[in-house]
Every structure is written in C-alpha cells, then in structure tokens.
Chains A and B, each alone.
Chain A
Amino acid sequence: EAGVAQSPRYKIIEKRQSVAFWCNPISGHATLYWYQQILGQGPKLLIQFQNNGVVDDSQLPKDRFSAERLKGVDSTLKIQPAKLEDSAVYLCASSLRGNSYNEQFFGPGTRLTVL
C-alpha cells in the first residue's frame, strides 16, 4: 500500500514570495491533516479536512496561509506571502476517518526555508 506522498521535498524561497505544497493521501482515507513543524518543536496542526470540507482550521494563519482539498483527495497548502518565521517542515497526514481514534499516517514532509 502506497503511503502519503508529498512534494516538493525541499523548497527555498525569499520572504514575500509565494509557495505551494502538495499532498496525496493514502487511498480511501477520508481525513487529511496539515502540520507545521518548526525546528526544535513538535508538529502543530494547521488544518484538518474531512473529505473536501474543513473540520478544524483554528491554528491556520488565514491572512497568509490557505489550503484546499478539491474532490476530497489531493490537497494543496499555500503561503502567500511567506515570512521568515514560516521556515519549517510541513507534514501531511491522513487517516481513514476523523472521529474517535483513527491512526494518522504521515508523509515525509516538505522542508521550507525562507530567506
């Protein structure tokens, strides 16, 4: 079974530029998560989708971050414009469902460096 795929693996941009990350969850997984992992910290949830609807985006900085999950499968996370403090690893995860306990499976992440 293929795991969670993410691209690109690495991205370097200058502040005020825009960037987008892509995630393809495990087939059949209804719930998709985006996490931000700043160096030296644990991952922090940015947004959770159930199919193509948003369940929780309370930690998403909506003035610059946006995410979508068209057709309830792939998802993109965008930052526009980027700031220095956005340098982090962005992890995508998926689970069968989003209620009670459902194991989350993580992708390898996208490491973003903002100069």
Chain B
Amino acid sequence: AQSVTQLDSQVPVFEEAPVELRCNYSSSVSVYLFWYVQYPNQGLQLLLKYLSGSTLVKGINGFEAEFNKSQTSFHLRKPSVHISDTAEYFCAVSDQTGANNLFFGTGTRLTVIP
C-alpha cells in the first residue's frame, strides 16, 4: 500500500518570493509521483509528474519538483510566486504495477500575499 504525507497544511508566502511545498511518500513498490493543483470550485489539474529518468521535473506555471528516492520525497518548488498561484496543492502517488490508481496527500493550501 502507498501513503503520502504533506507536512504543511497551509503555506503563506509573499508575492515574488520562492516557495517549497513538501511531500513525502511511503510505498513497498516503485511508484510514479505527481503534483496536482486545485483552484476554488474547480477540479484537479496536473502540474507535473515523475515517471522515470531525470529526478528534476518541470511542470506548468513555472513549477518544478525533485524526486529523492533515498529520502522518499518529492518536494514542489517555484522560484517566484504570483497571486494567481493561490490554490490547494496535492501530492499523489501511483503504483507502477497497478491499475493507475492515485493515492493523494491531504493537501497544502498556498496563499500568496500581495
């Protein structure tokens, strides 16, 4: 079974400042890793994914994440945030051998302060 831990439930940050949202996972099998964003009253949108290869992955809206297998982490970063980045961010894992099911963390609310 897989599990995902997002240690920070809320992260306030000033506009144009850098941000890191932390994600740690646990799994007995190899996994794929994802970050999703959820804007108010909308569904989830894929930000980026790690399937294989380079451990540094780049996604949409200037976000990137780094897969660290030894620390079982997949932290999300952005060097300079905008007001429009205010949203809920979810880290998720999927079993590489399974049926494409996603297991989500509890989410991190990013609030960008003008």
Contact = CB atoms under 8 A, between A and B. Distances in A.
A and B held together in a complex: yes
A4 B99 contact: no
- Chain A interface, DSSP helix/strand/loop, else mixed: loop
Given A42-B90, A48-B99, A55-B99, A108 B106 contact: no
Nearest to B88: A42
A55 B98 CA distance: 11
A55 B101 CA distance: 10
Interface stretch (B38-46, B53-61, B66-74): B38-46
A109 B42 CA distance: 7
A4 B107 contact: no
B106 A98 contact: no
Contacts of A109: 42-43
A55 B106 CA distance: 25
A106 interface: yes
B25 interface: no
Contact of A106 (B43, B51, B96, B100): B43
26 contacts: A4-B43, A40-B106, A41-B106, A42-B90, A42-B92, A42-B105, A43-B44, A43-B90, A45-B101, A45-B102, A56-B99, A56-B101, A91-B44, A100-B96, A101-B49, A101-B51, A101-B94, A101-B100, A103-B46, A104-B46, A104-B102, A106-B45, A108-B42, A108-B43, A109-B42, A109-B43
Please list the 8 inter-chain residue pairs (A to B) with the smallest Cβ-Cβ separation, ordered nearest first.
A42-B104, A106-B43, A106-B44, A108-B43, A98-B100, A43-B104, A107-B43, A42-B106
